[in-house]
C-alpha cells in the first residue's frame, strides 16, 4: 500500500528530494523526462547525476522558452502523441502543468507511464479543473484570455496557453487513472499557484474565486487550485504491464 500524504505545498522541494532519494537507491545516472519543458519548470537536481530530456507541444512561445533553457541535454517539441518516448527508458518523468492544456491527455499520460521504468517516479503538477481558478481558466473564451493574460499574470509568464482541462485533470480523474493502470500514489499535496494569483490584480482574482466557491456551495475551491502528486510505477511483475 502507498502512503498518501495530504498537505499544502509551501515552497517545498518534495520532487527534488524524491529524485535524490531515487538516485541514491539506484546508484547510477538517472534518465529524466521533463514533460511541459516549454513552461520553464525545473527539477532541483543538485548533486544528482542525471540526463534530462524535455518534451512539449510545438507552439512558438514554447519553442523560444525551451531553446533558452540550459538544463536540458536534449529536447523535442511536437504532437505529444507521437514524440519519442521509448518504453521503459526513464527513471523519472516530471509532468509540469501540461495535462490541463493538451487534448488526449490520458493517451499522453499513458505514453509517459509506459516510458517509465519499473519502480520509477511519475511526478505530476497540474491545475485542478474542479477549482474556482481552473473553472475560470477553462470557461473564459480564448479571445478574452488572450486580452487579459498580460494584465493579470507576472511579467514573463509564458502564455496564454490552451486551457483544455479534460476529466483527468482533477483529483478524482487522476486517482482513477492511477487505479486503472496499477500506479501507486505515494504523496498527494494541495496548493495554490495560479499565475493570476501572483499578478498585479491578485486581490481581484482571489475575490472572483471566492465568489465562485460561494455560488457553487463549496464545490469549486477558492483556496486550492493545484494538485501535486508523487506516483510510483510498481516493480510487481503481476501489475498491469506498462
List pLDDT tens digits, range 140-152. Answer: 999 999 999 999 9
pLDDT at 18: 94
pLDDT at 237 over 70: no
CB atoms under 10 Å from CB of 44, counted, come to 12
Average pLDDT of span 102-117: 96
Q: Which of 33-37, 65-69, 208-212 is predicted least confidently? A: 65-69
pLDDT digits over 170-205, tens only? 999 999 999 999 999 999 999 999 999 999 999 999
pLDDT of residue 12: 53
Q: Is the pLDDT of residue 138 over 90?
A: yes
Region of 191 on the Ramachandran plot (φ > 0 left; ψ -120 to 50 alpha; else beta): beta
What's residue 46's pLDDT?
85
Would you state the pLDDT for residue 221? 96
Which CATH number does 6-128+162-192+225-232 carry? 3.40.50.150
Say what percent of the chain tops pLDDT 70: 92
DSSP state of 152: H
Domain ranges of the chain: 6-128+162-192+225-232
74: how many CB neighbours lie within 10 A of its CB?
A: 10
> CA 156 to CA 117: how far, in whole Å?
35
Predicted local distance difference test score (pLDDT) of residue 220 = 96
Q: CB-hemisphere CA count at 13 Å for 230?
A: 20
Residue 166 has pLDDT above 50, yes or no: yes
CA dihedral (193, 194, 198, 200) in degrees, to 10, reads -170
pLDDT given for residue 186 in this prediction: 95
Question: To the nearest whole number, what is the mean pLDDT of the chain?
Answer: 90
All cell numbers assigned to 34: 521533463
What pLDDT is recorded for position 42? 84
Average pLDDT on 25-54 reads: 91
Q: What is the pLDDT of residue 156?
A: 87
Per-residue pLDDT at 236: 65
The mean pLDDT value for 154-180 works out to 94
pLDDT digits (tens, 9 = 90+) for 48-84: 999 999 999 999 999 999 999 999 999 999 999 999 8
* Residue pair 153/199 in contact by the 8 Å Cβ criterion: yes
Amino acid at each position: 500500500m502507498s502512503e498518501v500524504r495530504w498537505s499544502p505545498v509551501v515552497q517545498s522541494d518534495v520532487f527534488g528530494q524524491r529524485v535524490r532519494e531515487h538516485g541514491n537507491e539506484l546508484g547510477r545516472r538517472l534518465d529524466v523526462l521533463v514533460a511541459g519543458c516549454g513552461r520553464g519548470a525545473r527539477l532541483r537536481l543538485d548533486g544528482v547525476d542525471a540526463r534530462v530530456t524535455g518534451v512539449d507541444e510545438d507552439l512558438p512561445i514554447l519553442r523560444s522558452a525551451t531553446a533558452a533553457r540550459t538544463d536540458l541535454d536534449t529536447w523535442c517539441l511536437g504532437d505529444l502523441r507521437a514524440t519519442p518516448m521509448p518504453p521503459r527508458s526513464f527513471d523519472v518523468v516530471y509532468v509540469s502543468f501540461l495535462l490541463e492544456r493538451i487534448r488526449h491527455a490520458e493517451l499522453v499520460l499513458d505514453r509517459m507511464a509506459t516510458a517509465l521504468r519499473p519502480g520509477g517516479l511519475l511526478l505530476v503538477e497540474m491545475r485542478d479543473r474542479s477549482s474556482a481558478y481552473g473553472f475560470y481558466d477553462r470557461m473564459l473564451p480564448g479571445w478574452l484570455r488572450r486580452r487579459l493574460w498580460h494584465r493579470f499574470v507576472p511579467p514573463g509568464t509564458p502564455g496564454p496557453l490552451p486551457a483544455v482541462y479534460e476529466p483527468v485533470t482533477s483529483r478524482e480523474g487522476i486517482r482513477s487513472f492511477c487505479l486503472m493502470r496499477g500506479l501507486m500514489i505515494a504523496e498527494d499535496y494541495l496548493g495554490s499557484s495560479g499565475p493570476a494569483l501572483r499578478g498585479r490584480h491578485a486581490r481581484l482574482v482571489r475575490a472572483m474565486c471566492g465568489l465562485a466557491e460561494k455560488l457553487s456551495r463549496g464545490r469549486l475551491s477558492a483556496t486550492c487550485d493545484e494538485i501535486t502528486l508523487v506516483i510510483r510505477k510498481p516493480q510487481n511483475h503481476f501489475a498491469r504491464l506498462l
